[in-house]
Chains A and B, each alone.
Chain A
Amino acid sequence: MRFYEYESKQLFAKRGIPLPKGSQVARTAHEAQRIASDIGGAVVLKSQVLSGGRMKAGGVLFADDEEEAESAARLILDLEINGQRPRGVLVESRQPVAQEYYLGITWDGIAKRPVMIFSDMGGIDIEEVAEKYPEHVAKRHFSNLLPFSDHKAKELIAAVGVQGSDLNRLTRIAAPLAHLFQEYGLTLAEINPIARLEDGSFVALDGHVDMEAEVRGEHRALLEELGIGEDETRQARPPTSFELAGKRINDVDHRGVAGNVTEFDGTLGLIIGAGGGSLTLFDAVRNHGGHPANYCEIGGNPSVSKVCELTKLILAKPGVEKIAVMMNVVSNTRVDLVARGVIKGVLESGEDPGERIAIFRIPGSWETDGFKILDKYGVEYCDRAVSMYEAAGRAVAKMQSA
């Protein structure tokens, strides 16, 4: 779950990481003008979108006084970047920069520890710097059991040759960033760039913070304080109403999983599972030239009514002609309960299960009962002798012949 720049900076401020003077977000051009006048002098205005490439898209503008700031804010607030409307415009004082640095903390899944990365070449893509100028990038893993200790940050920053008071000042940014990372269960905390201003002081010019969904509950107070709503998934794109409806079906009933719905624009509705099985089956459908209407995951032991509601949601989606119900060989999900759920869902939509369900391929526990149910309603099914790939192929073939 990605934070907007202004939210990231509010988080930085909690631990005393210095920000440019002013640094407030405006929702209207008028408000931007007021902030600029409070700051006094030159300001920078930055569009608040979750997408990269703001500068190129014209989402970052400079202004010398409050009038210019007002008209710049007007332009930015009207500008869509990669399909996103800005959440607001961040107004900050603009001061001459002597040098830029990079500082980031993320997880290393191989070392299974947090890793802090520092470079004296900030402001550009760190992966590119690491490739071209490895001597300008340093990395240090640190313990997540012990409290973060300043010396780790010092070693890291000194490793690229930073000395004197700069070293100490940068440590006073890096250590609190590590504390935030640990305290709030972040998956990424990045300041790029950190600027050394001409007066020798340091500020965080731009920031990027990611928090994983798993800790949302634990940090509800913080999210509320930042104004991040429950429905904001903050993925690469905002959720559609179809996806939100899927989420509600999953959330109201704690029994098993029938959710993680993602919308696509095809004609074949998919009721698939579980995590890995869904990825495998989605690939298989596309490989056969099929056009999925959605991605989803069923798993664990979902109730009949939950599967029924999901089926109705997918069948009601405009353009959906048939649905395919497929999973890997299951051991804890029950074939018969899923069969009951999908058939009930089709019937309650006023349709014929034999007609609407292109294929049912879920072998495994309670399959004997499941297959009897499918027989009764004339639904085509297959057992484990038919592979997931083949089953997906049959579903696609039915769509093409229909």
Chain B
Amino acid sequence: MAIFIRIDVDGALAADAGAARQLCEVCPVDIFSTPDGGALEIVDDNVDECTLCELCLQVGKPGQVSIVKLYDDDAVLQRT
């Protein structure tokens, strides 16, 4: 269970195969995956490795991906 970070991905974006592939590519710590090329999944084991590099926030429209810092009163990082 991740205890420091939560990643929220908007349902519409997660359903978009192209966006899902992009997320898998940009994340340096493999937090996103598309098992068998299917739907987007968040790899729970890796979520706490998040480096807050914000590369995933550039995918899709602003606000479709957000990073929540569970250790900072659930502060939210989003593209603005």
A interface residue numbers (CB < 8 A to B): 303-305, 334, 336-337, 340, 344, 347, 369, 372-373, 376
Q: How far is the CA of A347 from the CA of B3 in the complex (A)?
A: 10
Contact call B49/A305, Cβ cutoff below 8 A: yes
**Chain A residues whose CB sits within 8 angstroms of the CB of B29 once the complex forms:** 303
B72 and A344 within 8 A (CB): no
Q: B1 to chain A: closest CB distance in Å?
A: 10
Say whether A373 contacts B4, CB under 8 Å.
yes
Give complex CA distance A305, B4 in Å: 13
Is there contact, CB below 8 Å, between A304 and B3?
Answer: no
Which of B3, B52, B72 contacts A372 (CB under 8 A)? Answer: B72
CB within 8 Å of A: which of B47-77? Answer: 48-49, 51-52, 69, 71-72
Residues of A within 8 A of B52 (CB): 336, 369
Q: Count contacts on B: residues with CB < 8 A to the other chain.
A: 10
- Dominant secondary structure of chain A at its interface with chain B: helix
Report the nearest A residue to B4, measured CB to CB. Answer: A340
Given the known inter-chain contacts A340-B4, A344-B3, please indicate yes or no for A373 contacting B51, CB distance below 8 A: no
* B51 adjacent to A337 (CB under 8 Å): yes
Q: How far is the CB of A262 from chain B (nearest CB, A)?
A: 27
**B71 near A344 (CB under 8 angstroms)?**
no
Task: Return chain B residues, CB-CB under 8 Å to A376.
Answer: 71
Chain B residues near A340 (CB-CB < 8 A)? 4, 48
Provide 26 A-B residue pairs closer than 8 Å at the C-beta atoms, listed in order of the A residue.
A303-B29, A303-B49, A304-B48, A304-B49, A305-B48, A305-B49, A334-B51, A336-B52, A337-B49, A337-B51, A340-B4, A340-B48, A344-B3, A344-B4, A344-B48, A347-B3, A369-B52, A369-B69, A369-B71, A369-B72, A372-B69, A372-B71, A372-B72, A373-B4, A373-B71, A376-B71
| A285 → chain B closest CB, angstroms | 28
- Chain B residue with Cβ nearest A377: B71
Q: How far apart are the CA atoms of A336 and B69 in the complex, in Å?
A: 12
A305 CA / B47 CA spacing, docked (Å): 11
* B72 to chain A: closest residue by CB: A372
Q: Considering only CB atoms, which chain B residue lies closest to A373 in the complex? A: B71
Q: With the chains together, A364 CA to B72 CA distance in Å? A: 19
Q: CA separation between A173 and B3, bound complex, in Å? A: 65
- Give the residues in chain B near A369, CB-CB below 8 Å: 52, 69, 71-72
- Alpha-carbon distance between A344 and B3 when the two chains are bound, in angstroms: 8
Cα distance A372–B69 in the bound complex, in angstroms:
10
